A and B are shown apart, each in its own frame.
Chain A
Amino acid sequence: MEIADDATISNEDILLRILLDDWIKNTETGSRPNSLALLDSNFENSCFISNAESLTELQRLFPGLPVAGIPVEVIRTEGFVVERRPNECPGGYAGDPNDHVVVGPPEPCGRKDYQRKSQAIVKDRRVFMLRLLPQG
């Protein structure tokens, strides 16, 4: 499916990508998402636009999981785009479903090109890591 860039999402916005512990690479200076974290066989990954409400909701839905904070500017610089997909927002998400987005190439591209761009994004130094603390 093609992804249409949403101009209402600014380059200054931060996208939150929920990770598995398997998708983290520990480095000398800390940790970052590994090369698998932003891959999908359909070439589109779920993320959430960061705001106070989405963070609270993600903390409730995915307690304890690591999260990558990815500036939208990094995604667009590498040639990926961001599209809101409220209809694919997880059930039980009590925030604004428009916080849910997918990222990926705007039009069909080769797998090698896709993986190169995805890897360049997760290696960018502006990407940071969080961990969602269990509530309570």
Chain B
Amino acid sequence: MSLSCYQAQSQSVDITPPYAIESQLEPTASFERFPWLLEALRGLQRICDSGQLIPGIGDLRVSPPTASFVRRLLSLISIPRLPVPRISPISGGGVGLLWNVGGKEAVLTVYPTDERFAYMLSNEQDELVSDGLLTLEQPRTLNSVLGWLVER
């Protein structure tokens, strides 16, 4: 068998059934390991369901792509002992995730117009100590940023 023929055959292999079952089990394991995750997802669903355009305040509607981005962002956080973040709408269709731990604060913001998310860290004196922009391809940096909240 020539190499090109082998490649053509290997590309046609169907691998769907067992992997579909595994992906259904994965969320359950994540909720057990990360107790804050379920409440965070509920918070996101709450603002998606209640979002509306309120002239004088802002457009608080969260689009499905933005909600999906936030779910992916939450799935990248691998710190079990974080508290449940407060999930709030941001005017203009964005979403904010806010943690307070012993006076320290971390804020992540997602805008519908930007494929990056922003972080802001404030210390116990309410001073901004670090901020920046990240993408979903930088989970290690994200966890380092949020790890600052719970480090001793």
What residues of chain A have their CB less than 8 Å away from a CB belonging to chain B? Answer: 18, 20, 22-23, 27, 34-36, 39-42, 45-46, 48, 58, 61-62, 88-91, 93, 100, 111-112, 115-116, 119-120, 123
Q: Give 10 A-B contacts (CB < 8 Å), ordered by A residue.
A: A35-B120, A36-B96, A36-B107, A41-B114, A62-B57, A88-B55, A93-B56, A112-B132, A120-B128, A123-B126
Decide yes or no: A35 and B131 within 8 Å by CB, A46-B57, A46-B58 being known contacts: no
CB of A60, distance to nearest CB on chain B (Å):
12
Q: Is the CB of A111 within 8 A of B111?
A: yes
Q: Is the CB of B57 within 8 A of A39?
A: no
What residues of chain B have their CB less than 8 Å away from a CB belonging to chain A? Answer: 54-58, 60, 86, 88-94, 96, 98, 105, 107, 109, 111-114, 116, 118, 120, 122, 126, 128, 131-133
How many residue pairs link A and B with beta carbons under 8 A? The number is: 88
Q: Is the CB of A40 within 8 A of B96?
A: no
Q: Is the CB of A119 within 8 A of B109?
A: no
Q: Is the CB of B131 within 8 A of A42?
A: no
Q: Which residues of B sit under 8 angstroms from A41, Cβ to Cβ? A: 90-94, 111-114
Among candidates A35, A39, A40, A90, residue contacting B105 with C-beta atoms closer than 8 Å = A35
Q: Is the CB of A36 within 8 A of B133?
A: no
Q: Is the CB of A89 within 8 A of B88?
A: no
Decide yes or no: A35 and B96 within 8 Å by CB, A46-B58, A111-B133 being known contacts: yes
Q: Which residues of A sit under 8 angstroms from B57, Cβ to Cβ? A: 18, 20, 46, 62
In Å, the complex CA distance between A2 and B2 comes to 63
CB of A94, distance to nearest CB on chain B (Å):
13
In Å, the complex CA distance between A6 and B131 comes to 31
Q: Which residues of A sit under 8 angstroms from B114, Cβ to Cβ? A: 41, 111
In Å, the complex CA distance between A12 and B16 comes to 66
Q: Which residue of B lies closest to A42 (CB)?
A: B92
Q: Is the CB of B56 within 8 A of A116?
A: no
Q: Which residues of B sit under 8 angstroms from A36, Cβ to Cβ? A: 88, 90, 96, 98, 107, 109
In Å, the complex CA distance between A112 and B107 comes to 12
CB of B144, distance to nearest CB on chain A (Å):
18
In Å, the complex CA distance between A61 and B91 comes to 18
In Å, the complex CA distance between A36 and B86 comes to 11
